[in-house]
Amino acid sequence: TAQRQQHSPSPNSATIVIWQSPIGSFYLNQFSSLSIMSTLERVITQLSAGKVQGCKSALPNGNSYCLYRGIPYAKPPVGELRFRPPVALERFEEEVLDCSYERSSCYAYMHFPPTVAVSEDCLYANVYTPIDPTEIERTIPLPVMVWIHGGGFIAGSGDAAIYGPRYIVQEGVIVVTFNYRLGPLGFLYFPEKGIYGNMGLKDQRFLLKWVQENISKFGGDPDNVTIFGESAGGASCHLQYLCESSRKYFHKAICQSGVAVTVWTEQMDAVSKTRNLAKFVGCVAESDDEIYETLMSAPADDLIAGSEQCVSDLDRSIYRIFAFSPVVEPKESEDPFITENYVDILRNPNMTNIPLILGLTSNEAICFIQNLSVELYANDAKLFVPPQLAVPEDRLLQVGEEVKRFYFENRTVSSENLQFLLDFVSDCMFVIPVCVASELHSRYQHSAPQYFYCFSFEGKSNHIKAMFQNDYQLEGAAHADELTYMFEASFFTTEEMDTDSQEYKIRKAMCRMWTNFAKCGNPTPDEDQLDILWQPVEKIDPDQEKYNIRALDLNEPSKMVDHPFEKRVNFWKRLFEKYGGNYLLHRALQ
């Protein structure tokens, strides 16, 4: 678990944080960045809650931009507001709020990247705009892109240590990053005492509302907002897409390596986990009132530490490595988010016309190597059967052998053949669910254009792959590898690239396509100078048998391909037909 400092850094403080994690120790020196910020030209913008003072700096192309960090977008969710939906902040305490530095991140079980401070008071946004506040009245409003960070609903923040958006901003858009509540503070569910869960998702929705009310003050167009995110951030974008009360706040969505129907998204046995957490933090009674009082008064650190103990054996068996995540709420919930099954919502014909991008990396599971025991899979073929697949107990071994044979053919399950195990894990955690979402969208959402990609580029900035693959020489791009091409990250030292390099070209292409989509709903419009036409996924009749995902292979050069995972998807379709019915409707692998 990360070692944490429980204070917000002042812009004049020098804070060195050591981060200890299962993958090593890292250091972050805030002094240099804060010192640089203190020398930059200041700019002031008037918002609905008061004035914010940011800084002016330079984009990689030399143009200027303004950055405002640590803007509170809701009241601190502390005290009686713990476990409650976010509440509007009417006025800032200061006449002019200093927004030259990032505030506290939310409490998390593990901090990746390391953070300088954590607190329950964590609902802050960062705005990056190429428009000077003195020029807003004379400038055409720009498209807005709101980034939702990943981290399994238990980790992460919107900070620039990973998500510095200068490469995106210089394409002519405004970028907003932000924090939302995580772990039990964001997703604990106890309806017996009026705690209906999804606080983190409601924070996201509240931030989108804040954007609608304030982004014009930064030169943004509230009528042209795109949400985009990766992993749990991608799943969050998809959940916002499915949420009727959220859709009025945005106009396009990009879901990277995460959708609502991934196996790790929806929380199971939510009330049981809440009761178990109360025991871990010292509740000896079992009444709802005493459990509630314990959870409301427990230190946030204890809640986060205890949440690891709430992960069930079923969770682990289906690669859900964290306890607290989104739930489907009852209709009587306070400020409900989603009250229907995700698949049922997707099957509601033409529920929206919002354009959508879905995508994956070519070798998602590389970053989970250290959590995989090859020996366990080698010794027990039944582990190849997802628990939700309705296979009779006396046939588990037979089906497990069938799955193992599909992935490994005649090879042994061993470290030498690790890639085939990674294919299996990638399919369970990401590939099959994202393809399910894509197919449901194509069959039922004919009013909404859909684009699909697979990021397969391998280059010097594939930092996630380099961090996790150890001595293995694996092909393809790992989960989250695309982020260090889209974003500038001090944590990974994403240096400037030679303009003739493949890395520079893939960065330029991705940022251009993502911002084109934000501008007009088409990643490769005719008037752009890109060398590729990204074709949308075809719309098909709900009862049509054959389905093909026409996808963009994001590489250098990029090209259109037919269904990059077709063989693996078809295998699972056949297996579901044999044991569980239509794989589009079944909860297994979802």
* Residue of 471, 519, 464 lying closest to 486 (CA atoms): 464
> If pLDDT is split at 50, 70 and 90, which confidence band does 421 have?
very high
In a domain, 139, yes or no: yes
Answer whether residue 5 shows pLDDT above 70: no
- If one compares 459 and 492, the residue with the highest pLDDT of the two is 459
- % of the chain exceeding 90 in pLDDT: 79
- Kind plus residue range of the DSSP H or E element containing 56: strand 50-58
Tell me whether strands 252-256 and 356-361 are parallel, antiparallel or unpaired: parallel
The pLDDT-based confidence of 471 (bands split at 50, 70, 90) is confident
Q: What is the pLDDT of residue 491?
A: 80
Query: Given the DSSP bridges, would you call strands 220-230 and 142-148 parallel, antiparallel or unpaired?
Result: parallel
Residue 211 domain-assigned?
yes
* CATH code of 545's domain: 3.40.50.1820
In a domain, 327, yes or no: no
**In a shared domain, residues 97 and 190:** yes
Which range has highest mean pLDDT (33-42, 105-114, 403-412)? 403-412
The dihedrals phi and psi of 147, each to the nearest 5 degrees, come to -90, 130
Domain tally, the chain: 2
Residue type, 182: L
Query: Above 60 in pLDDT, residue 36?
Result: no
List the single range of 37-51, 67-81, 550-564 with lowest mean pLDDT: 37-51
Confidence of residue 34 (pLDDT cuts 50, 70, 90): very low
Residues 368 and 303 both lie in one domain: no
- Judgement on whether residues 198 and 62 belong to the same structural domain of the protein: yes
Residue 518 located in a structural domain: yes
User: Which region, left, alpha or beta, applies to residue 158 given φ > 0 means left and ψ of -120 to 50 means alpha?
Assistant: alpha
Nearest to 341 by CA among 430, 265, 447: 265
Please confirm whether the linkage preceding 355 is cis (ω < 30° from 0).
no
Q: Which residues neighbour 281 within 8 Å (Cβ) at sequence distance 6 or greater?
A: 294, 295, 298, 302, 303, 306
**Could you tell me how many residues make up the chain?**
590
Claim to verify: residue 74 and residue 199 sit in the same structural domain: yes
Give the catalytic positions in this structure.
231, 364
Do 292 and 396 have their domain in common?
A: no
State the residue range of the domain holding 371.
355-580
State both tokens at 470. Answer: 């150890």
Task: Report whether 360 contacts 455 (CB < 8 A).
Answer: yes
- Of 48, 359, 328, 303, nearest to 154 by C-alpha is 303
The answer to whether the CB of 400 falls within 8 A of the CB of 365 is no
**DSSP at 224:** E
Query: Within this chain, do residues 221 and 269 fall inside the same structural domain, yes or no?
Result: yes
Q: What pLDDT is attached to residue 37? A: 55
Q: Are 298 and 390 in a shared domain?
A: no
200 is a domain residue: yes
Q: 26 falls in which pLDDT band (50, 70, 90)?
A: very low
pLDDT-above-70 percentage for the chain? 91
Considering 293, 318, 343, which residue would you say is the last residue of a domain?
318
Do 221 and 367 belong together in one domain? no
According to the model, what pLDDT value does residue 116 have?
64
Residues 530 and 443 in one domain: yes
Looking at the structure, tell me whether residues 415 and 310 fall in a common domain.
no
Query: Per the domain annotation, does 255 fall within a domain?
Result: yes
Kindly tell me if the per-residue pLDDT of 272 is higher than 80: yes
Q: E strand or H helix at 463, and its extent?
A: helix 463-468
Please state the rounded mean pLDDT for residues 161-173: 96
40 falls in which pLDDT band (50, 70, 90)? confident
pLDDT tens digit string along 201-246?
999 999 999 999 999 999 999 999 999 999 999 999 999 999 999 9
- Residue-wise pLDDT for 273-328, tens only, equals 999 999 999 999 899 999 999 999 999 999 999 998 999 888 887 778 889 999 99
- Same domain, yes or no: 373 and 281: no
The predicted model scores a pTM of 0.93
Predicted local confidence at residue 495, as pLDDT: 65
Taking residues 333-337, report their average pLDDT.
92
In a domain, 333, yes or no: no
Q: Which residue has the higher pLDDT, 19 or 535?
A: 535
Average confidence score pLDDT of the chain? 90
The residue-averaged pLDDT of 143-152 equals 97
Asked whether residue 547 falls in the same domain as residue 444, the answer is yes
Is residue 44 within 8 Å of residue 51, measured between CB atoms?
yes
CA-CA distance, 153 to 317, in Å (whole number)?
Answer: 18
Q: What type of residue sits at position 539?
A: K
In the listed set 261, 290, 318, which residue is the last one of a domain according to the structure?
Answer: 318
pLDDT digits (tens, 9 = 90+) for 538-583: 999 999 988 999 999 999 999 999 999 999 999 999 998 888 777 7
Single residue among 318, 346, 365 that ends a domain in this structure: 318
Residue 425 falls inside a structural domain: yes
Asked if pLDDT for residue 10 goes beyond 70, the answer is: no
